[in-house]
Amino acid sequence: MKIMIEGDTEHAQLVAASKAIDEHKKKYGTGNKYPPFTYCVRYRKRLFQVEVTNSNKYHLAHVITGHRELTKVHYGERD
């Protein structure tokens, strides 16, 4: 499986993302496809939030560094 890391490419963030992927692999292995899980990882006295998602081909880690767009929020049916 491929490992992909998205977000900023600072060294500390890359280390935090790889730690989150390792923790996710310990818990779920290659199972648990598609629902994203958010992990809080502490590295060098900083706290990073990393969202990890599995699919059939890759492990994706996205470092959350700022606000996120709410493009997939469903507010109910419109008439």
Query: For 8-44, how does the pLDDT look when each residue is reduced to its tens digit (9 = 90+)?
Result: 778 999 999 999 999 998 998 877 777 888 999 999 9
Supply the pLDDT for residue 79.
Answer: 47
Segment among 8-12, 40-44, 46-50, 64-68 with least mean pLDDT: 64-68
For residue 3, give the 3-state DSSP assignment.
strand
Percent of the chain at pLDDT above 90?
39
Supply the pLDDT for residue 74.
Answer: 52
What's the length of the chain? 79
41 close to 20: Cβ distance less than 8 angstroms: yes
The better pLDDT of the pair 50, 32 is held by: 50
Q: In this structure, how many other beta carbons lie within 10 angstroms of the beta carbon of residue 54?
A: 22
pTM: 0.78
How would you label 28-51 residue by residue, b for 16+ Cβ within 10 Å and e otherwise? Answer: eeeeeeeeeeebebeeeeeebebb
Tell me how far apart the alpha carbons of residues 11 and 1 are, in angstroms, rounded to a whole number.
Answer: 22
For residue 71, give the 3-state DSSP assignment.
coil
